[in-house]
Chains A and B, each alone.
Chain A
Amino acid sequence: MAQLAARGISVDFPLYHSETRSLRRAVLDRASGRFGADARRRPIVRALRDISFSLASGDRLGLVGSNGSGKTTLLRVLSGIYQPTAGSLAVDGSLASLLDPGQAMNPDMTGRENIRLHARFHRMAVAEIGAFEADVESFADIGAFLDLPVRNYSSGMMVRLSFAMATAARPEILLMDEWILAGDATFMDKARQRTETMVRHADILVLASHSAQVMVEWCNRLVWLEQGRVRADGEPLEVLSRYLPPQQFEQLRPKRSEQPEPIPAPLRSGTSP
């Protein structure tokens, strides 16, 4: 049983390298409510405030919110990258995060070399690396590019390889940021299938995206972040009905009722909110 729990997590970003006068003034004015000062009166940005939720096997959580609402920061906290300023994180289960395209890749090394690095990162023995490499290769399906330096990849190929590497390691918890949606329709289809198989095997998915369509199809729970706080938490359609402008939500609904079983057809037509 995989578990992921956030308890009262807050994150403040220190503003060390940009201590300009105007910023200080913004801090003093507290105009926007997201700037503040810490105990030692240093300027900070309040990135996350008091985030709590817990996920168990089978949960597929979507994070929605406008730019700068804290989605990526929350994914980094859940990955264990940022130590929270307050609150705590409890993870039980192997975890993989897809936060930046090509994050764990060395651009000067070939795709294959990067796969081997990744295998070592997962502490695989030599015997396991071969199977891992074969699995990534067949899923990424980028042909001869696998033997070229990653520098020469298109962003779509980067997505394919990153996704294949992250999921081939069989994480019990997968965290993904929205850039993963840069894959083409065929790949998206494959990716969703693979994620669903994963989740059927009692795993957890956390996905940040701006695409309502993707959220409805991939997730069974949504958290709406606003200004670093949880604005709403619940059923995807219920949260979206409040999050989306009414006409956009109306566009979403008919498609859902026509198709009881979600299939990624809207993705192929390139619908975006």
Chain B
Amino acid sequence: MSALIEGDRTHSRGRDGAVFHLAADSGWPQRFGLMARDLRDGASLWRLAWLLATSDIRLRYRGSVLGPLWLTLSTAVMIGAMGFIYAALFRADIRQYLPYLSVSIVIWNYLSALVNEGCNCFLTEQKLIHGARMPFSLHAARSVLRNTIVFAHNVVVIVPVFLLVGAPVTWEILWVVPALLLWLLDGFAVAMLLGALCARFRDVPPIVGALLQVVFFATPIMWYASLLDGHPLLGVLIRFNPFFHLLEVVRAPLLGGAPPAGSVLGALAASAVALALAAVGFARMRGRIAYWV
């Protein structure tokens, strides 16, 4: 018989997590308490979340020669092709437009992947959810980490573009760090909320996908926000578009400027709303997710 079984029980992991009480739903204090426990358990499993996320990427490209480099390559091809066509369409200076487009596309792909895959973060883990008690935050974190790894591969594309057109890089670029931390937090909150919602309502993922398409065209991603300057109605559209502000706080520093104060406020406000909705929504739905998936 194995030494592990026969051995002393007071092993290094201690008895943390060994005591567990679960009663029928009894209102908000209990719901928030169970959510807090879920987040705590999830945080203590960060190594597992990271291992799962990296395995996801490795498995996706197992047997492929270039592997995850395909992520980089396909983004590069897309930006290269679109850059010249749209620069001509918008009569923009390619030296300015190409860096703008490459940064916009790369961060938009990250944002839309966070939202789209966040929708499925519980549905795809149905087997794990039914197999053992596991914090739901683990699945949300896995989805966020996986897409962050993809993003890290795509960011590489920006470098040759900047070198090619000689775009300046300034110290303002450091603003990217707090901005991306905000994105990670938002991405996690959105995955917790949409993941639970989509487990219950299976029509939500395609609806979210369709809405993101609309947002893609209605937000200054391929076109400059300045094109709408002076336009009475559409100018307002931009000012109340949370996606514009969230993109801008990451994009502006990458393009050499500090993020505009208005966008910082907009991004913080949008994040506060997302976090509040996620906290209430997840606490409300948490106990039912295992029944829904």
Query: Does chain A bind chain B?
Result: yes
A100 x B44 contact (CB < 8 A): no
Q: Mark B121-148, 1 if CB is under 8 A from A, else 0.
A: 0000001111111100000000000000
Q: Mark A114-131, 1 if CB is under 8 A from B, else 0.
A: 001100111111001001
Alpha-carbon distance between A103 and B1 when the two chains are bound, in angstroms:
25
Q: Answer whether A135 and B51 are a contact pair too, CB < 8 Å, given A103-B130, A121-B45.
A: no
Q: Answer whether A93 and B6 are a contact pair too, CB < 8 Å, given A13-B291, A83-B287, A108-B62.
A: no
Q: Return A271 CB to nearest CB of chain B, in Å.
A: 27
Which of B45, B62, B129, B131 is close to A97, meaning CB atoms less than 8 Å apart?
B131
Size class of the B contact interface (CB-based, 8 Å): 35 or more
Q: CB within 8 Å of B: which of A85-140?
A: 85-97, 99-100, 102-104, 106, 108-109, 113, 116-117, 120-125, 128, 131-132, 135, 138-139
A116 x B18 contact (CB < 8 A): no
A135 x B3 contact (CB < 8 A): yes
Q: Mark A186-204, 1 if CB is under 8 A from B, else 0.
A: 0000000110011001000
Residues in B whose Cβ lies below 8 Å from that of A99: 130-132
Q: Which residue of A is nearest B62, CB measured?
A: A108
Q: Answer whether A170 and B62 are a contact pair too, CB < 8 Å, given A80-B133, A117-B48.
A: no
Residues in A whose Cβ lies below 8 Å from that of B133: 79-81, 95, 97
Which of B4, B18, B55, B292 is close to A106, meaning CB atoms less than 8 Å apart?
B55
**Is B21 an interface residue when CB atoms closer than 8 A count as contact?**
yes
Q: Mark B45-89, 1 if CB is under 8 A from A, else 0.
A: 101100110010001001000000000000000000000000000
B290 x A81 contact (CB < 8 A): yes
Q: Return A127 CB to nearest CB of chain B, in Å.
A: 8
**Is A69 an interface residue when CB atoms closer than 8 A count as contact?**
no
**Is B24 an interface residue when CB atoms closer than 8 A count as contact?**
yes
Alpha-carbon distance between A193 and B1 when the two chains are bound, in angstroms:
8
Q: Return A223 CB to nearest CB of chain B, in Å.
A: 20
Residues in A whose Cβ lies below 8 Å from that of B12: 125, 128
B19 x A201 contact (CB < 8 A): no
**Is B11 an interface residue when CB atoms closer than 8 A count as contact?**
yes
**Is B95 an interface residue when CB atoms closer than 8 A count as contact?**
no
How many residues of chain A are within 8 Å of chain B by beta carbon?
A: 57
Q: CB within 8 Å of A: which of B21-41?
A: 21-25
Q: Return B196 CB to nearest CB of chain A, in Å.
A: 13
A108 x B132 contact (CB < 8 A): no
B18 x A92 contact (CB < 8 A): yes
Residues in A whose Cβ lies below 8 Å from that of B4: 131-132, 135, 168, 170
Q: CB within 8 Å of B: which of A121-179?
A: 121-125, 128, 131-132, 135, 138-139, 167-168, 170, 172
Alpha-carbon distance between A272 and B45 when the two chains are bound, in angstroms:
42
B131 x A100 contact (CB < 8 A): yes
**Is B17 an interface residue when CB atoms closer than 8 A count as contact?**
yes
Alpha-carbon distance between A108 and B57 when the two chains are bound, in angstroms:
12
Q: Return B100 CB to nearest CB of chain A, in Å.
A: 39
Q: CB within 8 Å of A: which of B76-130?
A: 127-130
Alpha-carbon distance between A28 and B287 when the two chains are bound, in angstroms:
27
**Is B200 an interface residue when CB atoms closer than 8 A count as contact?**
yes
**Is B13 an interface residue when CB atoms closer than 8 A count as contact?**
yes
Q: Answer whether A121 and B62 are a contact pair too, CB < 8 Å, given A88-B22, A201-B5.
A: no
Alpha-carbon distance between A140 and B288 when the two chains are bound, in angstroms:
35
Q: Mark B166-178, 1 if CB is under 8 A from A, else 0.
A: 0000000000000
Chain A residues packing against B (C-beta within 8 Å): 10, 13-14, 16-17, 76, 79-97, 99-100, 102-104, 106, 108-109, 113, 116-117, 120-125, 128, 131-132, 135, 138-139, 167-168, 170, 172, 193-194, 197-198, 201
Q: Which 8 A-B pairs have the closest CB atoms?
A: A103-B131, A88-B23, A80-B133, A83-B287, A120-B48, A91-B20, A86-B24, A94-B18
- 5 residue pairs bridging A and B, Cβ less than 8 Å apart: A83-B25, A83-B287, A89-B23, A94-B15, A170-B11
